Amino acid sequence: MKRLFSILFILPALYSCSLAQVQKKYAELITEESSRKHLTILASKEFEGRGTGQEGGRKAANYIADHFKSYGLTPIVNGSSYFQPVSLLRIGYTVNSFVLDQTPLENGKDFFVQGDNDLSSFASQEIVFVGYGLQHENYNELKGTDIKDKVILVLNEGEPYDKAGNSLLTGTKSKSDWSSSRFKRIQELVKLQPKLILATNSQVVDMIGRMKGRLTSGRIALDNGDNNRMLTQPVPVVNISEKIAEQILSKANSSVTKFKEEATVQVQKPLVITSKLDAEMGVTKEKLNDPNVLGLLEGSDLKDEVIVLCGHYDHDGILPDGTFFPGADDNGSGTVAVLELARAFAAAKKEGKGPRRSILFIGLAAEEKGLLGSKFYVENPILPLQNTVACINIDMIGRIDDKHLNGNHNYLHAIGLDKLSSELQSVTEKANKDFVGIELDYSYNDPNEPMRLYYRSDHYNFAEKGIPSAFFFSGLHPHYHTPEDTVDKIDFPMMVKREKLIFHTAWEIANRDKRLVVDSNKK
C-alpha cells in the first residue's frame, strides 16, 4: 500500500514534467537565426520604414500574410483573406504652387504651412509688414490699420526692449505674454481676418531641417465617413525663413535688424510693400486602407475562446528626400515576435500538441498614427470580443534601454498585467520562473509614471473593451524614431529570450482550464 501511494504521488509530477518538456520543445523553435533573418528583411531599405500609406507598409503586410499562410494559419476575413482593410483618411496640407516675386518656393524646404483652409488660390500685389504684430495697450502696432483680406508679414517672436533691458510692453525685464505664449500673437492677428500670414522667426530653418518631410506629410485618422470638419485656423500661416523675409523687406529699403532697432524707440506703423504673391494651397483628403493582417490558429476543446497576440508592423516610412526610418526595434522586433510565435504554435498543432484555445495573430496597421489599427479592430472585430480572453501586445523588445544600460540586461518591462485580471500577472510570473528567468520590470506599470505607457500602445484599445491585456516592452533608447533604429543595434539573445517568455505566457493562457478572470477596474 505504501508503494502504491508513492506511485500515485509521483505520477502527477511526471505528467507535469512531461507537459513542460513539450512546451519547452516548441519554444526552442524560436531562434536568433530565424529572428535575425526576419528582422533584417523588415528593417531593410527595400521595406522603406513600413510607412502607413506607403509601398513599404504594403510590402510588410504582404510579408506577414505570406508567412501566416506558410504556417498554415487560417485566413478569417470574409472567410478567405488575411487582410482586414483599415478605413483611414490622410488629411494633408497640399501646396500646389507658391510663387513670391516670380520665384517658386517649395513647401517643406523654403517654408511650411499651418492651416486648415480648403484648397484655395491666394493672390496679392502687396504685402503688409506688421512688425511684431503686437496689440498690447502699451504697444499697439495695428492701431488704426485694417489688414482684412491682406497678405501680412510678421516677426513671430520677441518684443521690443529699451536700452535698460526693460520690455516696452511690461515696463520691466519680464517679457509679456505676447512673447511667452506660442500662440497668442498669431491668434490675435487671425481675429483681424487677413487673407494670409507670412510668419518668420529664427527657428524656422532649424525646424525644417529637423522635421524634414514630417512637416508636410499631414496626419492620418480613421475614416468615419464624416466629411465635415471644424476650421480652427482658416487663415493659413506660412512660416518662412528670415532670409526670405529679408528679401521682402529689402524691396522697401528695410530689414529685420533695422526694424528692431527702430521699434525700440517708438511703435512702428505697418509698412506696405509692393511684392507679388501667387499660391494655391489647402487641406486635401486621401482615403487609405492599410490592412491589419490576421491569421487564426484554431484551438481544440476551447476553440471558441480566443487569445489575441499582436504587434504593429508600421513605422515612420520614408521621406521625400530618401531618408527612411528602419524601425528595427520599433516595431520590427514585435512583428518578428508575432511571426516567430505563430510558427512555434503552428508547429505544435501540426504534431498534435496545439493549444486548447484559439490564438489570433495580428500584425496591426497604423499604430504610429494613433493606435488606429487596433482601434479599428475592436470596433469591427472579426471574432467576438466577448470570447476574447486576453490580448498580448509586443511593441519593441529588441534593445537594452537607458534604464538598464549600465545594469541588468536580463529584463523585460511588463505593463498592464494587473489592470483587469488578478491572474494575468501570476500566470506570466510563473511562466517566467518555470522557463525563462528574467527580471520583470514593473516600473512603467506605476499609475503615477509620467510617460503613461500603458495607454500608448495597441493593447489599450482591447483593455478599454474589458479584455485583460499585457504590453511587453524593452524600453526607450536614443535611436527611438530616428533613422538610427537599425538591426545592428538589436540584442538578439535578449530579444529571443523575451520572445520565449511571451510564448510560455501565451501557452499557459491558451491551455489552462478556465479563462482569465476579469476582476479589476484598473483599466
Q: Is residue 163 part of a domain?
A: yes
| Residue 16 burial class via C-beta count within 10 angstroms: exposed 0-12, middle 13-18, buried 19 and up | exposed
Is the pLDDT at 517 greater than 90, yes or no?
yes
Alpha-carbon separation of residue 382 from 31, 312, 415, 447 (angstroms):
31, 17, 26, 32
Instruction: Return the C-alpha cell found at 330.
Output: 520599433
Which alpha helices (DSSP H) does 28-123 contain, by range?
32-42, 55-71
| Residue 209 burial class via C-beta count within 10 angstroms: exposed 0-12, middle 13-18, buried 19 and up | exposed
How many distinct structural domains can be found in the chain?
2
Distance separating alpha carbons of residues 43 and 48, to the nearest angstrom? 8
Task: Tally helices (H) and strands (E) across the chain.
Answer: 13, 19
* Total length of the chain: 523
pLDDT reported for residue 1:
47
Is the pLDDT at 233 greater than 80, yes or no?
no
Q: Is residue 9 part of a domain?
A: no
Which alpha helices (DSSP H) does 87-240 contain, by range?
177-180, 184-190, 204-211
- Confidence class for position 521, pLDDT limits 50, 70, 90: low
- Residue 494 CB: number of other CB atoms within 10 A? 20
Are both 218 and 294 inside the same structural domain?
no
**Taking Cα atoms as reference points, which of 333, 444, 459 lies closest to residue 392?**
459
Summary mean pLDDT of the chain: 94
Q: Is residue 37 part of a domain?
A: yes
pLDDT digits (tens, 9 = 90+) for 455-479: 999 999 999 999 999 999 999 999 9
| Residue 482 burial class via C-beta count within 10 angstroms: exposed 0-12, middle 13-18, buried 19 and up | middle
All residues at 6 or more sequence positions from 438 whose CB lies less than 8 Å from its CB, including other chains: 410, 411, 412, 432, 497, 498, 501
* Arithmetic mean of pLDDT, 130-156: 97
Lowest mean pLDDT among 137-146, 216-225, 418-427: 216-225
Q: Residue 353: left (phi > 0), alpha (psi -120 to 50), or beta?
A: alpha
What is the percentage of the chain residues whose pLDDT exceeds 70?
95
- Are 439 and 379 in contact by the 8 Å Cβ rule? The answer is no
- Confidence class for position 265, pLDDT limits 50, 70, 90: very high
pTM of the full structure: 0.86
Q: Which of these three, 285, 320, 337, is where a domain ends?
A: 285
Angle between helices 492-511 and 334-350 (to 10 degrees): 50
Instruction: Return the C-alpha cell found at 59.
Output: 510590402
Is the pLDDT at 3 greater than 70, yes or no?
no
pLDDT reported for residue 215:
79
Read off the DSSP letter of residue 489: G
* Arithmetic mean of pLDDT, 328-343: 98
Q: Which residue has the higher pLDDT, 4 or 230?
A: 230
**Taking Cα atoms as reference points, which of 251, 358, 262 lies closest to residue 303?**
358
- Confidence class for position 351, pLDDT limits 50, 70, 90: very high
- Confidence class for position 15, pLDDT limits 50, 70, 90: very low
Are both 155 and 123 inside the same structural domain?
yes
pLDDT reported for residue 209:
87
Are both 42 and 146 inside the same structural domain?
no
Lowest mean pLDDT among 56-65, 81-90, 219-228: 219-228
CATH number for the domain that contains residue 107: 3.50.30
Q: Which of these three, 268, 285, 302, is where a domain ends?
A: 285
Write the single-letter amino acid at 35. Answer: S
Is the pLDDT at 11 greater than 80, yes or no?
no
- Confidence class for position 520, pLDDT limits 50, 70, 90: confident
Write the single-letter amino acid at 45. Answer: K
Distance separating alpha carbons of residues 523 and 466, to the nearest angstrom? 8
CATH number for the domain that contains residue 54: 3.40.630.10
- Are 273 and 249 in contact by the 8 Å Cβ rule? The answer is yes
**Taking Cα atoms as reference points, which of 115, 369, 362, 406 lies closest to residue 232?**
115
Are both 215 and 137 inside the same structural domain?
yes
Are both 161 and 242 inside the same structural domain?
yes
Are both 253 and 348 inside the same structural domain?
no
Q: Cis bond leading into 331, ω under 30°? A: yes
Is the pLDDT at 276 greater than 50, yes or no?
yes
- Are 309 and 506 in contact by the 8 Å Cβ rule? The answer is yes
- Confidence class for position 4, pLDDT limits 50, 70, 90: very low
Are both 190 and 66 inside the same structural domain?
no
All residues at 6 or more sequence positions from 245 whose CB lies less than 8 Å from its CB, including other chains: 153, 155, 198, 200, 256
Q: Is residue 299 part of a domain?
A: yes
Q: Is residue 2 part of a domain?
A: no
pLDDT digits (tens, 9 = 90+) for 310-335: 999 999 999 988 999 999 999 999 99
User: Would you call 275 helix, strand, or coil by DSSP?
Assistant: strand
Q: Is residue 38 part of a domain?
A: yes
Q: Is residue 503 part of a domain?
A: yes
Which residue range forms the structural domain that includes residue 239? Answer: 91-285
Instruction: Return the C-alpha cell found at 114.
Output: 499651418
Distance separating alpha carbons of residues 221 and 88, to the nearest angstrom? 6
- Are 397 and 337 in contact by the 8 Å Cβ rule? The answer is yes
- Are 295 and 63 in contact by the 8 Å Cβ rule? The answer is no
Are both 64 and 106 inside the same structural domain?
no
Lowest mean pLDDT among 125-129, 222-226, 245-249, 511-515: 222-226
Are both 98 and 54 inside the same structural domain?
no
- Confidence class for position 210, pLDDT limits 50, 70, 90: confident
- Are 389 and 513 in contact by the 8 Å Cβ rule? The answer is no
Question: How far does CA 311 lie from the centroid of its chain?
Answer: 13
pLDDT digits (tens, 9 = 90+) for 65-86: 999 999 999 999 999 999 999 9
| Residue 2 burial class via C-beta count within 10 angstroms: exposed 0-12, middle 13-18, buried 19 and up | exposed
Q: Which of these three, 285, 311, 332, is where a domain ends?
A: 285
pLDDT reported for residue 14:
45
Is the pLDDT at 6 greater than 60, yes or no?
no
pLDDT reported for residue 522:
58
Instruction: Return the C-alpha cell found at 160.
Output: 521690443
Distance separating alpha carbons of residues 358 and 308, to the nearest angstrom? 9
**Max CA distance (Å), the chain:** 111
Are both 172 and 306 inside the same structural domain?
no
Q: Which residue has the higher pLDDT, 40 or 2?
A: 40
- Confidence class for position 17, pLDDT limits 50, 70, 90: low
Q: Is residue 491 part of a domain?
A: yes
* Arithmetic mean of pLDDT, 417-434: 96
Distance separating alpha carbons of residues 498 and 116, to the nearest angstrom? 45
Are both 116 and 68 inside the same structural domain?
no
All residues at 6 or more sequence positions from 392 whose CB lies less than 8 Å from its CB, including other chains: 307, 308, 309, 310, 459, 469, 470, 472, 502, 505, 506, 509
Are both 342 and 378 inside the same structural domain?
yes
